[in-house]
Chains A and B, each alone.
Chain A
Amino acid sequence: MKKIELLAPAGDLERLKVVLLYGADAVYVGGEKLSLRANATNFSLDELKEGCTFAHNLKKRVYLTANIVFHDKDRKGMEEYIKEVIDCGIDAFIVSDLYLAKYIIDNYKNVEVHISTQDSITNISSAKFYRDLGASRVVLARELSREEIKEISSIPNLETEVFIHGAMCTCFSGRCALSNYVTNRDANRGGCAQVCRFAFDYDSNDKFTLATKDLNMAMYIKDLIDIGVSSLKVEGRMRSLYYLATVIGSYRFLIDSIYDGTLTDDKLLEYQKRLDSVANRDTTTQYFNHLADVTDQYYTGRQEISNQEYLGLIIGYDEELEALVLKERNYFKVGDEVEIFTPSGEIYPYKIETIYNEDNEKIEVARHPEEILKLPFKRRLVPYSMIRLIRKGESNV
C-alpha cells in the first residue's frame, strides 16, 4: 500500500526548500499567474524550475496552484503559461475552473490535474465526475466528516487530498465573496481580504464575529491513513519558516511513527503540544467528528496571538569559535533553556550560557531581530536548523 503523502505549502523558494528538508513529500506553490494567493511572493518561472529540480533531486514533487476563478481577460496568455510551467518540471496542477482542468487534461498527458478545494467537493458523485473528466485527485471540501471522507476515498482510480492543519474558511470555498463586497478585492481571484475575520456591528452592545478556529488533525492521522486518504495537506503558503518547519517536521514524525508502529500516546501528546505551541489561534478538528458548532468559532474581534518562541535560524558554523552562527528572530538571553532542532528530526536540548555577537564579543541578551549571533556548539548542523525557546531563565536584564 502506498504511503500517505505529506503535502506542504511554500510561498517562496526558501520555504519550498525548508518544507521538503523537514519531511514533506510534496509541495504546492503559486506561480505568477492563475494562483489564489495573488499577494503571496509567488514563484517566477526560474524559481519554479529551481524548485522542481531541488524537489526532484530529493525524489519529491511540486504542484502548482492554478485555482483562480478566471474572467475572460485573465484568459490572455493562459495556454502559453501552462506550457511554460510544465516545462519547468511541475508534477501537477491544482485547478478549480472546469475549463482549465479540461484544457490541461486534454493537452498534457505528462502532468496530473488535481481539483482544488475551491470546488468544495462534498460527495461521491461530483468526485466521480472529476475522475471521469481525467483528474487524478480531488482536494476535498473542509466541511466533511470522517465517514464522508472515507466514502469518497473509496472511489477507485481517484486520489483524495484532505486538509489537516491550518486556517479554515468560514464559508464553503468558492461560495464566498465577502471580500469583494467589503474591500472590492476578489476572493476568487486571489485577493481574499479575510473579511470573515473582521468584527461586524450587530447591536449597540456587541460585535458579531464569524471567524473560525484553526484546524489541527494530529490526533487523527492514523484514522486518515486507515480510511484511505492519499494526501495530507497543510495550509499556509505565507506562514513563517519556523512555523512550517515545526508543523511539517511534527507531521513527518507522526506519519513515520504510525507506519513503523512506534507511535506512543506520550509522543502523540508531545507533538500535539508542539503543534499547538506554534499556532497563533486555538485549534479544533472542525467537521471530522461532528458538524462544526459553537466550540469551533471565535466570538471576539481579535483572534491571533503572537508567538515568540522562535529564537533563531542557524545559517552557518564558526569553526574557530566552535559556535553555531544564527540569525536572531526573537529576544533571548543567557540562562534560557532552548532546543536546537534540525530538518532530519534531531533535537538537542541546550542551555544558553554564552552568546557572542558578530564581532565575537560576549553579550548577555539578544534583543535585535535579524542580528547575527553565535552560540557555542561542538558540531556543525545542516542549514535550516532552528532554535526554539523551551523555558526562560531567571531575568536579570
Chain B
Amino acid sequence: MKLLGVIRDNNYLEYLDNGLEGIILPLETFSVDYFKYYSISDIRECRKSTDKLLYVVINKMIFNNELDNLLTVLKDLETLKIDGIFFYDLAVLNLVRENNLSINLIYNGTHMVTNSDTINLYYDLGVKGAYLSNEITKDEVLNIKSNTKSDLFILLLGNPVVAMSRRSLLTSYFTNKNKSKDDLITIKEPKSGQEFIVKEDSNGTTFFFNKRLNLSNVYEELVDCGINYGIIEQGDYNSGEYKELINAFVNFSKLKIDELAGYNRGFLYRETIYKVK
C-alpha cells in the first residue's frame, strides 16, 4: 500500500522524505471539504520539486458558469503530469472524455463509493481508481477489493467528511444571532454526544466528524488484500507529530498510531441500518 498525505502546512517535502509516497492537493476554487487549497502555480511548483506522486482534488459541485474555467484547469493539469484527479462531479469525467485529455481519474464520490459494480463501471468508462466511502464495513472493503481491477484509495487516518452544503450556514447563523461570524466552529448533537467541526468557505459549508478515524487495527489486513493507496491526513498535528505518525505506518506500529490518533474505527464493524423496525 502506498501512503499518501493530505497536508495542512508547507512542509510536504519533509513528509515525502519521511515516508509518504505522494500527496493530495485540493485545487483552490474547485475543491471543498479541506483546510488547505493549492493554486495551479502551487501545483506546478510541487511538480517541479518532487518526482513523487501528486494527486489533485476537484470535488465540488460544478455550476454552469464554472465549466469553461474547469476545462482550462483540466488542460493545465494535463500538462503538469500529475498522477491523477480525485473528482466528484461527472462534469469532470465528461470534459476529460469529450476533450480526450490524458488524465488519470479517481472517482471520489464521498459517501457513494460503496459497491464493486459501480466502481467497475467507472473503470470501464476510463476511471481507473476509486476512493472508498468511510461509511462501509471492513468486510465490504475486502469484498470490493476482491471484485475490482480498479485502484482503491482508503482514508487510513483523518477526520471524515460528513456532509456538504451549498449554503453559507455559519454566515446565516451568526447573522441571525447578530454575532460576529466565525468560519469554523464545533457543535455537538446532545443525545448521541457526537461532535462535528463545521467549516464555511466561499463554496459552502462542510461538516467533519470530530473524532479522527484510525484504521491502524486493520492496516495490515488492508495491505494484504491489496488496497493500493492509504491516505493519512495531517489534520491538526504539528510537523513533528505528523512525521511520527507517518513513521508509525511505514515501520508499522499500531501501538504508536493508536497513541497518537485514538481508537475510532468508524464503521469498520458497524453496519449502518436503513430499515427501522
| A residues lining the B interface (CB < 8 Å) | 38-39, 68-75, 96-99, 102, 119-120, 122-126, 128-130, 141, 143-144, 147-148, 151-152, 170-172, 174-178, 180-191, 195-196, 198-202, 206, 208-210, 212, 287, 291-294, 296-297, 299
Contact = CB atoms under 8 A, between A and B. Distances in A.
B194 A292 contact: no
B166 A180 contact: no
Interface of B: 61-64, 66-67, 89-91, 93-95, 109-112, 114-118, 120-122, 135-136, 140, 143-144, 147, 160, 162-169, 171-173, 175-177, 185, 187-190, 192, 194, 196, 198, 207, 209, 267, 270, 272-276
Contacts of A202: 185, 187-188
- Interface SS of A by simple majority: mixed
B269 to A, nearest CB: 12
A129 B89 CA distance: 11
Given A186-B135, A200-B188, A206-B177, A191 B274 contact: yes
Given A96-B112, A122-B89, 13 more contacts: A69-B112, A97-B118, A99-B115, A123-B61, A123-B62, A171-B164, A171-B165, A172-B61, A184-B273, A191-B272, A202-B187, A287-B166, A294-B176
Contacts of B273: 184-186, 191
- Interface SS of B by simple majority: mixed
B275 A71 contact: no
A71 B267 CA distance: 14
Nearest to A152: B64
B91 A184 contact: no
Contacts of B89: 122-123, 126
A70 B165 CA distance: 22
Contacts of B111: 69, 174-177, 180, 187-188
Nearest to B135: A180
A177 B64 contact: no
A71 to B, nearest CB: 5
Contacts of B166: 143, 172, 287, 291-292
Contacts of A123: 61-64, 66-67, 89, 91
B64 A148 contact: yes
B154 to A, nearest CB: 16
Contacts of A171: 163-165, 207
A290 to B, nearest CB: 12
Contact of B61 (A124, A143, A176, A190): A143
B63 A184 contact: no
A125 B67 contact: yes
Contact of A122 (B61, B120, B167, B194): B61
A202 B177 CA distance: 13
List the 10 closest A-B pairs by CB distance, nearest first.
A191-B274, A186-B272, A125-B91, A200-B187, A189-B274, A126-B90, A176-B163, A99-B118, A171-B165, A129-B94
B136 A71 contact: yes
A190 B274 contact: yes
Contact of A72 (B91, B116, B175, B207): B116
B274 to A, nearest CB: 3
B64 A208 contact: no
B135 A210 contact: no
A201 B194 CA distance: 10
Nearest to A97: B118
Nearest to B277: A39
A129 B93 contact: yes
B163 A70 contact: no
B94 to A, nearest CB: 4
Contacts of B64: 123-124, 147-148, 151-152
B114 A71 contact: yes
B163 A38 contact: no
Nearest to B61: A122
A375 B80 CA distance: 78
A294 B175 contact: yes
A220 to B, nearest CB: 19
Given A129-B94, A208-B173, A210-B169, A182 B147 contact: no
A372 B99 CA distance: 67
Contacts of A75: 115, 117
Contacts of A199: 190
Contact of B122 (A98, A130, A151, A186): A98
A71 B114 CA distance: 5
A208 B272 contact: no
B209 A299 contact: no
B225 to A, nearest CB: 15
Contacts of A39: 275-276
A180 B177 contact: no
Contacts of A102: 121
Nearest to B89: A126
A172 B164 contact: yes
B19 to A, nearest CB: 30
22 contacts: A75-B117, A97-B112, A97-B115, A98-B122, A102-B121, A120-B61, A122-B61, A122-B62, A125-B90, A129-B94, A130-B90, A170-B163, A174-B109, A177-B110, A177-B162, A180-B135, A181-B162, A181-B209, A186-B273, A293-B168, A293-B172, A294-B175
A195 B275 contact: no
A356 to B, nearest CB: 41
B164 A176 contact: yes
A174 B135 CA distance: 13
B118 A122 contact: no
B147 A125 contact: no
A175 B111 CA distance: 7
Contacts of B173: 208-210, 297, 299
B187 A72 contact: no
A310 B67 CA distance: 48
B24 to A, nearest CB: 19
B168 to A, nearest CB: 7
B94 A128 contact: yes
A196 B144 CA distance: 31
B59 to A, nearest CB: 10
